[in-house]
């Protein structure tokens, strides 16, 4: 039985006051971490203030990291420093990073190693563009992204990894993949993990769906066999919606 994981990706949103307010609202309301992993991934300068207020049932994540731990890399974010600040998760290879900041399967792979080395739990994003889906290339794209991301990653480390299937055309567009499309691609990704690592790792790895998830559609999405949670952008900015979606994952 895989424990569900609901992660909010705040992207470049929320002021300090809004974030503190959010923390007050969610602190007593989130279900136990024994039942569901609840995570908020925020901008780096906010980490400290969130970690101070996170309570027992919420974990904090970053949205990116660099693949070196220290050195002359102006503007980058060190996994070692994130760990010092008691950050638990880090999103790697989000489609916005891939499209606007030139991330590739190779950089995603290096970042996964940096996260693991620093005991951060990677949420690794994969997903196809609209033209790729329309020209029936979804599975080819997912195969390339999954094989590239996990190149040389050991089976033992795969238990720390969460994969987020996020079709790019469904992110921030209000256009959710149907639960069937989401399930089909998550099952395909699980199959790839099986091919690479065997049955046990494939059965245990958690795969989230992301792309316009909201309270109105989360039940259907996470009822699917191969979907173990959600990575949520817009709808994670409101405390009441976030609480509702985490609770839906426990049902």
Size of the site for ligand PGA (CB under 6 A): 13
Residue 62: count other Cβ atoms within 10 Å of its Cβ: 25
Stretch that binds ligand PGA, among 58-66, 154-162, 191-199, 227-235 (CB under 6 A): 227-235
**Is position 62 an interface residue for ligand PGA (rule: CB under 6 A)?**
no
**Is position 213 an interface residue for ligand PGA (rule: CB under 6 A)?**
yes
Least distance between ligand PGA and beta carbon 126 (Å) = 12
Determine which residue in the list 120, 221, 234, 249 makes contact with ligand PGA, applying CB under 6 A. Answer: 234
Helix (H/G/I), strand (E/B), else coil: 132 = helix
Q: How far apart are the first and last CA of the chain?
A: 14
**Is position 211 an interface residue for ligand PGA (rule: CB under 6 A)?**
yes
Determine which residue in the list 6, 9, 46, 122 makes contact with ligand PGA, applying CB under 6 A. Answer: 9
Tokens of residue 250, six digits: 């426990």
Tell me the residue number closest to ligand PGA, measured at CB. Answer: 233
Helix (H/G/I), strand (E/B), else coil: 62 = strand
Based on CB atoms, which residue is closest to ligand PGA, 201 or 246?
A: 246
Catalytic site residue 166?
Answer: yes
Least distance between ligand PGA and beta carbon 203 (Å) = 25
Catalytic site residue 94?
Answer: yes
**Is position 38 an interface residue for ligand PGA (rule: CB under 6 A)?**
no
Stretch that binds ligand PGA, among 48-56, 62-70, 178-186, 204-212 (CB under 6 A): 204-212
Least distance between ligand PGA and beta carbon 34 (Å) = 25
Tokens of residue 181, six digits: 């499309």
Whole-angstrom Cα distance, residue 133 to residue 167?
Answer: 9
**Active-site residue among 96, 128, 166, 183?**
166
Based on CB atoms, which residue is closest to ligand PGA, 8 or 197?
A: 8
**Is position 166 an interface residue for ligand PGA (rule: CB under 6 A)?**
yes
Contact predicate 87/72, CB 8 Å: no
The four Cα atoms 129, 188, 208, 41 give a dihedral, to 10 degrees, of: -50
Residue 11: count other Cβ atoms within 10 Å of its Cβ: 18
- Pure H helices in the chain: 16-27, 47-52, 79-84, 95-100, 105-117, 130-134, 138-149, 155-158, 179-197, 199-204, 215-222, 239-250
Residue 12: count other Cβ atoms within 10 Å of its Cβ: 8
**Is position 233 an interface residue for ligand PGA (rule: CB under 6 A)?**
yes
Would you name the residues annotated as active-site residues? 94, 166
Residues that bind ligand PGA (CB under 6 A): 9, 166, 171-172, 210-213, 231-235
């Amino acid at each position: 039985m895989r424990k569900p994981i609901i992660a909010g990706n705040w992207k470049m949103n929320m002021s300090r006051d809004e974030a503190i307010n959010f923390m007050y609202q969610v602190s007593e309301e989130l279900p136990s971490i024994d039942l569901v992993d609840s995570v908020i991934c925020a901008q780096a300068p906010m980490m400290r203030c969130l970690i101070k207020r996170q309570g027992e049932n919420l974990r904090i994540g970053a949205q990116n990291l660099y693949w070196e731990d220290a050195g002359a890399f102006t503007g980058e974010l060190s996994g070692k420093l994130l760990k010092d600040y008691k950050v638990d998760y880090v999103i790697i290879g989000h489609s916005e990073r891939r499209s606007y900041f030139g991330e590739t399967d190779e950089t995603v792979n290096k970042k996964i190693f940096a996260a693991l080395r620093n005991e951060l739990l990677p949420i690794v994003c994969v997903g196809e563009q609209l033209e790729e889906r329309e020209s029936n290339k979804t599975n080819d794209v997912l195969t390339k992204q999954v094989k590239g991301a996990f190149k040389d990653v050991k089976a033992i480390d795969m238990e720390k990894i969460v994969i987020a299937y996020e079709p790019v055309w469904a992110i921030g567009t209000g256009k959710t993949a149907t639960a069937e499309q989401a399930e089909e691609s998550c099952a395909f990704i699980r199959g790839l993990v099986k091919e690479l690592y065997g049955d046990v790792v494939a059965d245990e790895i958690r795969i989230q769906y992301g792309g316009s998830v909201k309270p109105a559609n989360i039940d259907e999405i996470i009822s699917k066999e191969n979907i173990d949670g959600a990575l949520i952008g817009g709808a994670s900015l409101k405390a009441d919606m976030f609480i509702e979606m985490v609770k839906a994952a426990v049902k």
